[in-house]
């Protein structure tokens, strides 16, 4: 009997991301899984593509951890609000290591079917990460704002 959708997604974050058990990817992620996100480029279909994304993050942040802040489950969808934290010790998104600790929030909507994750749609604070790296300056406060 397949696990409930929330358990499947929790295992993805706790076991694959946090414990680096990439061998579980085929058990948790469908062969046709599509990953959609602000830092995903090229082919992002299937467990091997997801493994590559994990490897890119871990190369940049060897101490990477995901903390699940909240989940909402509705039928075959699991929405996860999370915080990613780690130390930027390797190249990530073309940016050489800064040795800075970063923490950013995000949200991912996972579609579950037949006991596996079929699709994942992520949105997270890439801009905030770049600011924490020190490669982007913050937007300052507007001089004046008025509503009509």
Q: Is 40 exposed, middle or buried (0-12, 13-18, 19+ CB in 10 A)?
A: middle
Summarize pLDDT for 46-90 with one digit per residue, the tens.
Answer: 898 899 999 999 999 999 999 999 999 999 999 999 999 999 999
| pLDDT tens-place string over residues 80-134 | 999 999 999 999 989 999 999 999 999 999 999 999 999 999 999 999 999 999 9
Domains of the chain by range and CATH? 5-133 (3.10.450.50)
What pTM was estimated for this model as a whole?
0.86
User: Is the Cβ–Cβ distance between 113 and 30 less than 8 Å?
Assistant: yes
């Amino acid at each position: 009997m397949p696990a409930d959708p929330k358990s499947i997604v929790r295992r993805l974050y706790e076991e694959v991301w946090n414990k680096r058990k990439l061998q579980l990817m085929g058990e948790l992620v469908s062969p046709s899984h599509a990953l959609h996100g602000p830092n995903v480029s090229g082919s992002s279909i299937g467990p091997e593509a997801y493994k590559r994304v994990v490897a890119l993050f871990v190369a940049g942040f060897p101490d990477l951890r995901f903390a699940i802040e909240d989940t909402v489950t509705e039928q075959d969808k699991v929405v996860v609000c999370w915080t990613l934290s780690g130390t930027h010790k390797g190249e990530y998104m073309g940016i050489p290591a800064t040795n800075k600790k970063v923490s950013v929030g995000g949200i991912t909507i996972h579609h579950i079917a037949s006991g596996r994750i079929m699709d994942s749609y992520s949105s997270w604070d890439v801009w905030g990460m770049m600011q924490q790296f020190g490669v982007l300056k913050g937007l300052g406060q507007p001089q004046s704002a008025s509503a009509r």
